[in-house]
């Protein structure tokens, strides 16, 4: 596969491993310290513009998703819990999803996703022995589109050890990526008072993470509540999401695919 249009002057993935050593070490240290790390200007400006135009052209086929849900991505609360428990705090989410099978094989995003030196870099940053592409037809690399008034609710991601995104186009206003580091160490080790502060807007530990066009961000979405604040203005916020696995042959849950992409992906 043709190498993707990375800014190789800034990120020399086309050279030997040692050339990327300091960059990987710094990113890994930031991820361990802050629960996220950022690699600004990862793709060339021309490639970012082309990827954003490609996503914009696919908007008509994107699946609209709108719901009230809690931070566990559930649409119903738990009546056995107090009314102010995070499981019973439902917040609005609205956006459109472009599934992986809508992107052409020549897409810059797919070229990046399937390029082995990129996979090796990500594995080194997150501390995984090896990463594998997700085998689901819809999930591996997708684009989330936020128009005026769209947002994501505070939530945790799946059980994957990390989440990786690449900003293609920012909104005119709003659309900030906000993250509350370490709201839980594990599904059984949640800091409920901290989570409640975040969900009610009372926490002073929430961080706004830089999301400039072309910026690659890796974060521990399974351990830290995060959201995208409401978008304003006419420009659509376009964000690519890359899903890797720590073992081969992983596909998505058809029920989740139906909710997120409007189809199961099973044929």
Q: Which pLDDT band holds residue 48 (cuts at 50, 70, 90)?
A: very high
Mean pLDDT to the nearest integer, 75-79: 91
C-alpha separations of 82 from 16, 25, 196 in Å:
55, 44, 12
DSSP reduced 3-state for 24: helix
pLDDT at 1: 65
pLDDT of residue 75: 86
Q: Which residues contact 149 (CB under 8 A, 6 or more apart)?
A: 94, 230, 231, 232
47-68: average pLDDT: 96
pLDDT in tens, 212-240: 999 999 999 999 999 999 999 999 999 99
The predicted structure's pLDDT at residue 218: 97
pLDDT tens, position by position, 166-189: 999 999 999 999 999 999 987 778
Average pLDDT, the chain: 94
* Distance (Å, whole) CA 36 – CA 34: 5
Pick the closest to residue 153 from 207, 85, 223, 201 (CA basis): 201
Percent of the chain with pLDDT over 90: 83
Mean pLDDT within 39-53: 98
Superfamily of domain 17-75+82-261: q2cbj1_9rhob like domain (2.60.120.620)
- The residue that leads in pLDDT, 16 or 55, is 55
Cα–Cα distance measured from residue 96 to residue 8, given in angstroms and rounded to the nearest whole number: 32
Rg (CA), the chain: 18
d(C-alpha 38, C-alpha 32), whole Å: 12
Residue 104, Cα to own-chain centre: how many angstroms?
20
Residues 137-170 have pLDDT tens digits of 999 999 999 999 999 999 998 777 899 999 999 9
pLDDT of 267 strictly over 70: no
Give me the mean pLDDT over the 189-217 stretch.
95
């Amino acid at each position: 596969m043709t190498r993707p249009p990375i800014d190789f002057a800034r990120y020399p993935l086309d050279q030997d491993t040692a050339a990327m050593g300091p960059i990987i070490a710094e990113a890994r240290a930031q991820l361990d310290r802050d629960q996220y790390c950022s690699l600004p200007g990862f793709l060339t400006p021309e490639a970012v513009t082309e990827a954003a135009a490609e996503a914009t052209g696919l908007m008509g086929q994107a699946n609209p998703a709108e719901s009230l849900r809690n931070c566990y991505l559930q649409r119903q609360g738990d009546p056995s819990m107090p009314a102010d428990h995070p499981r019973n705090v439902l917040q609005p989410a609205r956006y459109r999803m472009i599934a992986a099978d809508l992107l052409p094989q020549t897409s810059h995003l797919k070229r990046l996703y399937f390029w082995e030196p990129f996979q090796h870099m990500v594995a080194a940053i997150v501390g995984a022995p090896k990463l594998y592409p997700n085998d689901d037809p819809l999930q591996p690399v997708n684009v989330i589109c936020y128009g005026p008034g769209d947002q994501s609710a505070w939530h945790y991601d799946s059980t994957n050890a990390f989440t990786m995104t690449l900003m293609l186009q920012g909104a005119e206003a709003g659309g900030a990526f906000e993250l509350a580091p370490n709201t839980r160490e594990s599904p059984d080790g949640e800091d409920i008072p901290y989570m409640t502060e975040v969900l009610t807007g009372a926490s002073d530990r929430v961080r706004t993470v830089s999301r400039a066009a072309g910026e690659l961000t890796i974060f521990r979405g399974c351990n830290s509540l995060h959201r995208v604040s409401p978008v304003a203005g006419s420009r659509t916020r376009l964000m690519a999401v890359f899903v890797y696995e720590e073992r081969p042959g992983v596909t998505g849950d058809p029920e989740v695919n139906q909710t997120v992409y409007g189809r199961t992906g099973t044929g």
